Amino acid sequence: MKKKMLSAAAAVLILLTTLMLPVGAKSVTYAPYDGYEYNDYNESTAAPIGYLADTVYDSAAMGLESSLYEPTDMIYVDGALYILDGGNGRIVELDGKTMQIRTVYGEFKTASGEVKDITGARGMTLDVDGTHFYIANSEQCEVLKVTRDGTVVQVITRPDHALLDTEAQFLATKVVVDQKNRLYVLVESINMGAFVYDANGEFLHFFGSNPIVATGEIIKNYFWKRFMTKEARQGLARVTPTTFENFDIDQYGFLYTVTGNNSVVAQSGLVRRLNYKGSDILTNDIVFGDVEWDRVYGAESLTTSFADVDIDSEGYINLLDEGRGRVFQYTTDGKLIAEFGTYSEQVGGFSEAVAIETIGDRVYVLDSGKKSVISFRPTEYGAALREAFKLLSSTETEKAYEVWMSILKKNTNSQYPYYGIGMVYDAQGRYKEAMEYFKLAGAHVEYSKALREYRIEFINTHYLWLILGVAVLVALVVFIARFIKKRTAIVHGTAFSALETKYMFPVYTCMHPSDGFEQFKTRKIYSMRMSALFVVLWFFLSTMAFFYTGYSFNKNRAMDYQFLTTLFMTVGLFVLFVVANWSVCTLMNGKGSLKEITATCAYALVPYLISILIRVLLSNVLTVEESAFLTLINLIGLLWSLLILFIGLQSIHQYSFWGTIGSVLLTLLGMAIICFLLVLFYTLVQQAINFIRSIGMELSLR
Amino acid sequence: MIEAWEMSQGGIRVKKKIAALVSAMLLLLSTGVIAFAEAPTEETEQSKPVIMGVEEDTEDIYLTTYEEVASNSDSILYADMQKGHFALQDKSNGHIWYSTPNDSLTDNITIGSDKWGLRSQLIVRYLFEEDVLKAVAPSETNSQLSCIEEGSVTVKKIPNGIRVDYYFGDLGVTIPAEYCLQGDSLSAKILLDEIDEGDGCLITDINLLPSFGAGNAQAEGQLLVPDGCGALINFNNGRDRLAYESMIYGEDLIETPELKTTKTEAVRLPVFATLMDNAALMGIVKQGDGSASIRAVNGNENRGYNAVSTVCHLRSLEHLTMFEKKGNSVVGRLTAWPEGAEEYEVVYTPLKGEEATYVGVAEKYRNYLIEEKGLIAKVQQPSLSVDIYGGVDVKATFLGFEYSKIEKLTTFSQAQTFLEKLYAAVNMPLSVRYLGWSGDGILNKKTPAKATAMKKLGGQKAFTSLAEFLKGTDSVLYTDVDLMQFRKGSEKRAIKNVFNETVEQTERLRSVFTIRLGLDAVKFITPQDLYGKAETYLESVKRQGLTHVSLSTIGNLVYSNNSAKNGFHRYFFTGEMEKILKLYHEAGLSLSVENGNAYAAVYVDRIYDAPTVTSGYDIFDEEIPFYQIVFHGYVTMTTTPMAQAMEASSNILKTVESGSELLYGGMYAQSSVVTGTRYDYLYSTEFSLWENEAVATATRYRDLLNTVYDETITGHRAVAVNVMETTFSDGTRVLVNYTEEAVTIDGVTVNAGDYAVMEGVTE
């Protein structure tokens, strides 16, 4: 009777509110956030907004009699949106279209009549047929299976037999059901992965535990522990696998999990897509969330921390970042489609976002602080991007091209259209054009793949020329080899070969370092001019490598080229080494003069310089898979140079083998000391300036 | 047929009313919250002010005895000569507006500090001198607690009204205020120059009449706040949020939070109103608008009333963190008092009947501008507005060495070629604003002294050719100048904060909000130096023979200089701007501003980028083109540049809804040249990207614009959710459909996201 009266009163209230409503109004739309996209350098660039909030459904707008209180979860199933109103211990069912209230599930009783209070429940889902709710009744440490009329048909509690080595409570937080009606339960207090139950509620196994990430902290602790007493060791916080914060299952049955995190910089691995074995099948190094470096301002800085994930109808990943109060939408390849939301008391802003759900291309965010559901719709730009990414994997290349061109028209800052058009050309077999577009898109891997195809095509069409080219190259190598061999023969009438002349000597030292550098002392045959030339060449080749290394291997931008840095890394390093070596060796009775040391070091550079040149040239025709060649060439050049240098130093200083090793080590130490002194001097000057400045400030204020 | 329709409509209505009444009674009986005896009586006969809910044990401090203190042909002013409360009665309909609600005693919803807001006439925020250095946050007190309950209010009769001296005993502060009848209005003043701060107390802000005209928890009505284009807050919308408060003419530049996670629109008009059925109370900040904010509170679970008021900001506390490494030592300092400011004045005007809508308020405010500020109708002939981006100063590197260079976005001849083509296609005049045509390009390095065409863009000759062409087509060419912002050069003329540090605005990353590295910060010229700069520039304008000048920032930036040596309070800032605008106006120039503040509208012919959205605060219920309703037919306005609008489609609809002009911004260069620079917001503005769409949109809109461009807006309402109808003074009605579905209104079908004109249909 009482219930009837109450519902009558509710009806009256609804009637009243509908009568009070004006004919209509222009709803308030605003985006308190800016649109942006990340380029391939992880820098944000201005972009149109991808999603706009169009309505904030608070309890009154839903037609709810009493306001939501600490709602915790939200799911959308077959045209209905269910809100787990945790603080009130009830489930609210809304019409998915009108967002008007349909039913409130407020009383839960077991068959024996025992009332189950679900206040504080944190997760909810429906089974495959939509006949039963599963409720993660967190405060009671249980999961309830409830029919739609409120009868609790099963209470799932802690599977004790599987948890022998822990006494932790069964603090169930989130639940989800897969297509085979298996129930997955996340338990906050136990980090062994999700608990999996069959349709009858029998515990099956654990699933996909989150691996420990070997951070510096853990490694440091590992070493510290060796030196600690037992007590101190226990004092260290135990590092355990982080538990999943939330999960969702996509249409293919893959389980997506998100992990909360509190570091300022987003990391990879916070979002995972698990196959039936429980292993992550997302491309490894995708970093979800904001990747731009957040220069920290005291306690004010925001962090990336994912609270919920939802896979929408297109299979796109929607992530709710409660750290920044922002929603991120990604393709499964980790391409950021849109990001929206911020912390604010504005439409499109959040106060305490707890759950995210999608209906078609719309995104709904449940905000516990605002006691509302905020609905977002894609803008023209956002919708076009969604469409375009979808077309990437289709065969309709013509259509894809058009959509990508329309996006280019809306956002000339974006690299996506170039990527998309590159993919279109790639699919059409127009590899040359594809490569150009991939370059604009900053897509190195795709560029490399297109390059491989283009190379095959090129070889197929130009094979005659290529064979000819190879023949010429072989002939050239043979010629050079013979030339050198010829010249190594002792010239008649002298004690030396034709290579042992002043200007051919660098070639000679490459071949015969021991004998060659010996002659530095005996014949003074080194040339300071040529030494200088090699050092300068080093600088130029480094610069060339910066600009002209093939795009597959080259992530440098022309604007990032630093003249001074390059100069220091070549000429500066050379000078530092020579000076340090000279200082050390003078003390150690080395016989080499400064000139000799300089010439030795410069001549030793030759193989390395040649390797740089070859590497740069080859990098333009090789693909990423063949990068091992480049590494090999680099290694050969470097080792060759180091070997010559070592032998050279040994010769000119007339040290023993161990003496040379010792002098080289001391030289390195000397270099470090010189650097340290320079830095020290710089810091001291700076400190003095700061000190004077702060005194000035203090005086002016007090 | 129609009659029958109306009859049946009426029938339904009656039935509904009965049903509602019955159900309401049921509800009231079952809950018993509201006592019937206290329902307001019909105000047909001229009732006297009463105070409700008085019982035997009601304390004297909550009682009010009204007596008539002044009257004229329009209204009567009643006041309590002990406490200073007053009531304003509109003679024509008898409606009484209480300075503090007369039903505050029966309010059992409001809790906490809002209770004081409900009963007070002044809420004062203050600091004691010794707390300033420690940067203690200002405290709050109010006239009810500190004055009335202490019996320290002195009320005196003065011509047409009363003067109330509020003595805040605990602070030793006296704040005198005057409430006087002025024609059909009531003028409420705080006599700033007579405030006695006693010993050691420093007032920071005063909220004047926080609950004047408040609606209670049962009332129906709306609050009008001029946020952005204008917003309405429904009474008792129940939302549990902070009060709305926003500085008139924008937040002070000095207060840039380190991590600004959100963005907002500024208040451009010093007007606000409480709208009820057949009665409204509007307020205009007449003096001190430069240093005031609008504050609005809505009814919810913990607040039983709805009110909008203003806060006068006198000083503000600024912080400086010193020696960050050795623990935070935060030092505070207060900005200076507006020395020489005499009054802070808000004029309240009751509106009645059909006037009592936001359209009525806009009209009344327009009349105020006409009568008091000399606003005249000066609309320009209808046109398509185009922004041309000339040059920008960007950073480039050569071998790792940075240097700055001018990136040519559009040269004068490129602009001419494009505009010739555009003119031929749209077949209507163009209103061109050339940004970055002179000096260092769009964002100054140094404040400009010369109005000469940039050589890199083609120089004087090419510029003259462009100007000649536009003249020949009846089009106008506004050359843009920014006299206020600069990036390089001496900091002597830059505004400082109270610690004598130069105020700098930095670009923020869109993603994580922190400073975008590698870009020069923007500084602002001191208000004292501005006039001289403006004079110099004007001389050059005259020499160059320019006739149309766009004074972009002069119309929308407001700041103060808090330097100890040559401080300049925000209170006086708008006056300084008016002086400059007047100078240029009197030189015979046609002026335009961007997103202009109220004071600029009087002097300019065009307002580019007039506000079309609000800040979208949660407590807002509706978005209305209030700004446009005020100025349409008097000043030509454009909406947001198409490429920078949140969404082009709704930007077009907003243009049509308010009868504004379309605005497209463009450059000749490929707009990817700005990618990665500070001008990357100019993406997708390349002429070729939008030309066809602009022609199509403008051609379709042309006839409507030709009809309504010089008419005022006489009606504006929602005919369904997100379907708006605007009526212009010639009777033209425009329906705008923002929804995703077609609607049919009065037999006219409007497609989704489209508009329709219902010509000649008058109501």
Alpha-carbon gap, residue A349 to A30, rounded angstroms: 10
Collapsing DSSP to helix, strand or coil, B238 comes out as coil
User: In which band, very low, low, confident or very high, does the pLDDT at B255 lie, cut at 50, 70 and 90?
Assistant: low
A29·B616 Cβ contact <8 A: yes
- For residue range A41-93, what is the model confidence (pLDDT) as tens digits? 889 999 999 999 988 998 888 999 889 999 999 999 999 999 999 999 999 99
Residue B717 contacts A where some CB pair is shorter than 8 Å = yes
Nearest chain A residue to B240 by CA distance is A370
Contact between residue A218 and residue A236 where contact means Cβ atoms under 8 Å apart: no
Higher pLDDT, A378 or A169: A378
Residue A274 domain-assigned (yes or no): yes
**Residue B445: which of B678, B665, B681, B671 has the closest Cα?**
B678
DSSP label at residue A575: H
Least confident range of A6-10, A274-278, B327-331: A6-10
- For residue range A608-625, what is the model confidence (pLDDT) as tens digits? 999 999 999 999 999 999
What are the CA-CA distances from residue A583 to residues A81, A535, A601, A646, A653 (Å)?
Answer: 78, 20, 15, 17, 12
Judgement on whether residues A319 and A422 belong to the same structural domain of the protein = no
Residue A56 contacts B where some CB pair is shorter than 8 Å = yes
Amino acid in the structure at residue A248? D
Return the axis-axis angle of helices A573-587 and A657-701, rounded to nearest 10°. Answer: 120
Q: State residue A252's pLDDT score.
A: 87
Q: State residue B116's pLDDT score.
A: 87
Residue A700 domain-assigned (yes or no): no
Judgement on whether residues A448 and A500 belong to the same structural domain of the protein = no
DSSP string over B317-377: EEEEEE-GGGS-EEEEEEPPP-TT--EEEEEEEEEEGGGSSHHHHHHHHHHHIIIII----
**Residue A180: which of A155, A200, A160 has the closest Cα?**
A200
Contact between residue B674 and residue B704 where contact means Cβ atoms under 8 Å apart: no
Min distance A214 CA to chain B CA atoms (Å) = 27
Q: Is the pLDDT of residue A231 over 70?
A: no
Phi, psi (degrees; rounded to nearest 5) at B480? -85, 145
Residue window 98-127, chain B: list those with CB within 8 Å of chain A.
Answer: none
Higher pLDDT, B517 or A320: A320
Judgement on whether residues A314 and A431 belong to the same structural domain of the protein = no
Min distance A656 CA to chain B CA atoms (Å) = 44
Judgement on whether residues A524 and A624 belong to the same structural domain of the protein = yes
CB atoms within 10 A of CB A7: 11
- Total structural domains within chain A: 3
Among candidates A292, A345, A409 on the partner chain, residue whose Cβ is nearest the Cβ of B618? A345
Nearest chain B residue to A547 by CA distance is B399
Q: Is the pLDDT of residue A339 over 90?
A: yes
A290·B399 Cβ contact <8 A: no
Residue B322 contacts A where some CB pair is shorter than 8 Å = yes
Rg of chain B, C-alpha, whole Å: 28
Best residue of A15, A30, A265, A690 to probe chain B, by most B CBs closer than 10 Å: A30
Residue A701 domain-assigned (yes or no): no
Residue A52 domain-assigned (yes or no): yes
Give chain B positions within 8 Å (CB) of A349.
262, 618
Judgement on whether residues A553 and A449 belong to the same structural domain of the protein = no
What are the CA-CA distances from residue B269 to residues A48, A513, B225, B272, B611 (Å)?
Answer: 29, 85, 9, 8, 11
Residue window 29-48, chain B: list those with CB within 8 Å of chain A.
Answer: 30-31
User: In which band, very low, low, confident or very high, does the pLDDT at B254 lie, cut at 50, 70 and 90?
Assistant: low
What are the CA-CA distances from residue A661 to residues A657, A658, B20, B328 (Å)?
Answer: 6, 5, 100, 52
Residue window 537-596, chain A: list those with CB within 8 Å of chain B.
Answer: 558-559, 561-566
Judgement on whether residues A362 and A402 belong to the same structural domain of the protein = no
Residue B27 contacts A where some CB pair is shorter than 8 Å = yes
Torsion sign (Cα): B146, B148, B152, B153: positive
Judgement on whether residues A451 and A325 belong to the same structural domain of the protein = no
- For residue range B139-192, what is the model confidence (pLDDT) as tens digits? 999 999 999 999 999 999 999 999 999 999 989 999 999 999 999 999 999 999
Among candidates B619, B623, B683 on the partner chain, residue whose Cβ is nearest the Cβ of A46? B683
CA neighbours within 13 Å on the CB side: how many for A218? 8
Nearest chain B residue to A344 by CA distance is B262
A694·B323 Cβ contact <8 A: yes
A297·B258 Cβ contact <8 A: yes
Q: Is the pLDDT of residue B8 over 60?
A: no
Q: Is the pLDDT of residue A20 over 60?
A: no
Alpha-carbon gap, residue A485 to B191, rounded angstroms: 104
Which own/partner contact pairs does B501-505 have at CB distance under 8 Å and 24+ positions apart? Answer: B501/B320, B503/B253, B503/B254, B503/B559, B505/B253, B505/B256
Task: Provide the β-strand partners of residue B392.
Answer: B407
Residue A44 contacts B where some CB pair is shorter than 8 Å = yes
Residue A220 domain-assigned (yes or no): no
For residue A258, give the CATH number of its domain: 2.120.10.30
Least confident range of A240-244, B351-355, B410-414: A240-244
A27·B622 Cβ contact <8 A: yes
Q: Is the pLDDT of residue A2 over 60?
A: no
- For residue range B195-212, what is the model confidence (pLDDT) as tens digits? 999 888 999 999 999 999
In which residue are the tokens 């000819």 written? A468
DSSP H helical ranges for A324-462: 380-392, 397-410, 416-427, 431-441, 444-461
Q: State residue A307's pLDDT score.
A: 92
In which residue are the tokens 């550079």 written? A605
Q: Is the pLDDT of residue A294 over 60?
A: no
- For residue range A344-386, what is the model confidence (pLDDT) as tens digits? 999 999 999 999 999 999 999 999 999 999 999 999 999 999 9
Q: Is the pLDDT of residue A13 over 60?
A: no
Q: State residue A301's pLDDT score.
A: 63
Alpha-carbon gap, residue A702 to B333, rounded angstroms: 11
Judgement on whether residues A423 and A397 belong to the same structural domain of the protein = yes
Least confident range of A215-219, A670-674, B171-175: A215-219
Judgement on whether residues A366 and A424 belong to the same structural domain of the protein = no
Best residue of B407, B513, B719 to probe chain A, by most A CBs closer than 10 Å: B513
Q: What is the mean pLDDT of residues B376-399?
A: 92
A26·B722 Cβ contact <8 A: yes
Q: Is the pLDDT of residue B325 over 60?
A: no
User: In which band, very low, low, confident or very high, does the pLDDT at B681 lie, cut at 50, 70 and 90?
Assistant: very high
Q: State residue A223's pLDDT score.
A: 64
Q: State residue A241's pLDDT score.
A: 53
Q: Is the pLDDT of residue A15 over 50?
A: no
Residue A485 domain-assigned (yes or no): no
Structural domain range at position A571: 496-684
Residue A434 domain-assigned (yes or no): yes
Judgement on whether residues A365 and A426 belong to the same structural domain of the protein = no
Average confidence score pLDDT of chain B:
90
- For residue range B624-651, what is the model confidence (pLDDT) as tens digits? 999 999 999 999 999 999 999 999 999 9
Phi, psi (degrees; rounded to nearest 5) at B342? -90, -50
Residue B416 contacts A where some CB pair is shorter than 8 Å = no
Give, for A261, the enclosing helix (H) or strand (E): none
User: In which band, very low, low, confident or very high, does the pLDDT at A485 lie, cut at 50, 70 and 90?
Assistant: confident
Alpha-carbon gap, residue A645 to A602, rounded angstroms: 9
Q: Is the pLDDT of residue A21 over 50?
A: no
Residue window 380-439, chain A: list those with CB within 8 Å of chain B.
Answer: 380-381, 409-413
Q: Token pair of B367, please?
A: 């009349």
Contact between residue A355 and residue A73 where contact means Cβ atoms under 8 Å apart: yes
Among candidates B242, B512, B681 on the partner chain, residue whose Cβ is nearest the Cβ of A292? B512
Contact between residue B618 and residue B239 where contact means Cβ atoms under 8 Å apart: yes
Nearest chain B residue to A51 by CA distance is B646
Q: State residue B655's pLDDT score.
A: 97
Task: Provide the β-strand partners of residue B394.
Answer: B405
Average confidence score pLDDT of chain A:
87
Residues recorded for chain A: 702
Residue B719 contacts A where some CB pair is shorter than 8 Å = yes
Q: What is the mean pLDDT of residues A242-251?
A: 84
Judgement on whether residues A550 and A655 belong to the same structural domain of the protein = yes
User: In which band, very low, low, confident or very high, does the pLDDT at A285 lie, cut at 50, 70 and 90?
Assistant: confident
Residue B172 contacts A where some CB pair is shorter than 8 Å = no
Give chain B positions within 8 Å (CB) of A44.
509-512
Residue A478 domain-assigned (yes or no): no
Residue A40 contacts B where some CB pair is shorter than 8 Å = no
User: In which band, very low, low, confident or very high, does the pLDDT at A235 lie, cut at 50, 70 and 90?
Assistant: very low
Q: Is the pLDDT of residue B133 over 80?
A: yes
Contact between residue B211 and residue B134 where contact means Cβ atoms under 8 Å apart: no
B259·A300 Cβ contact <8 A: yes
Q: Is the pLDDT of residue A478 over 50?
A: yes
User: In which band, very low, low, confident or very high, does the pLDDT at A607 lie, cut at 50, 70 and 90?
Assistant: very high
Q: State residue A537's pLDDT score.
A: 96
Nearest chain A residue to B671 by CA distance is A412
Q: Is the pLDDT of residue B669 over 90?
A: yes
Min distance B536 CA to chain A CA atoms (Å) = 35
Q: Is the pLDDT of residue B19 over 60?
A: no
Torsion sign (Cα): A191, A192, A196, A197: negative
Judgement on whether residues A283 and A329 belong to the same structural domain of the protein = yes
Q: Is the pLDDT of residue A12 over 70?
A: no
Q: State the count of interchain CB pairs (< 8 A) between A and B.
A: 204
Last residue in a domain, options A440, A461, A482: A461
Residue window 72-91, chain B: list those with CB within 8 Å of chain A.
Answer: none
Nearest chain B residue to A20 by CA distance is B220
Last residue in a domain, options A378, A412, A447: A378
